[in-house]
């Protein structure tokens, strides 16, 4: 008899590692028996993104902040919609949540809320790979989770 999670928490934000986590989650899930809870975290380092060094007045800084928020919202919506479509194609129920903050803290908070049977995340981004580094604090995560953690490779 194999383990079939009823609730699977998947941290996914569209990177190559997240796509590996998605594949691992789908390998563990069973249609009509597993609910995928998709967590998209917007890292809190974006909070200070104001461009003060080149923007010289409050109106311009505010306009830039609105622009950044719209870009982040569009990215989150695109990833949420794509994962929902992938789940639907496999007959899986998917609920998506978007959180703003430190990735491990957000994942732990959502895990407390949904009480998953399994948590799936992607591997750390290899050095030299382009993109922002929103590193998951694996020690904090391992100490705080009550469910098994699967790190896709």
Instruction: Summarize pLDDT for 72-82 with one digit per residue, the tens.
Output: 889 899 999 99
pTM, two decimal places = 0.85
- For residues 17 and 10, the answer to whether their CB atoms sit within 8 Å is no
Name the class of domain 7-34+41-134+141-151: alpha beta
pLDDT digit string, tens, across residues 74-108: 989 999 999 999 999 999 999 999 998 899 999 99
């Amino acid at each position: 008899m194999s383990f079939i999670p009823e609730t699977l928490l998947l941290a996914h934000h569209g990177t190559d590692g997240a796509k590996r986590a998605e594949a691992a989650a789908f390998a563990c899930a069973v249609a009509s028996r597993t609910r995928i809870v998709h967590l998209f975290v917007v890292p809190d380092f974006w909070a200070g993104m104001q461009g003060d060094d080149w923007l010289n007045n409050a109106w311009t800084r505010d306009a830039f902040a609105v622009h950044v928020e719209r870009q982040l919202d569009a990215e989150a919506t695109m990833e949420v919609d794509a994962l929902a479509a992938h789940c639907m194609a496999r007959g899986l129920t998917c609920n998506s949540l978007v959180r703003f903050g430190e990735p491990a803290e957000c994942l732990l908070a959502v895990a407390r809320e949904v009480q998953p049977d399994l948590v799936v995340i992607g591997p750390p981004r290899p050095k030299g790979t382009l993109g922002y580094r929103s590193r998951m604090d694996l020690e904090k995560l391992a100490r705080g989770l009550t469910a098994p953690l699967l790190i896709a490779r």
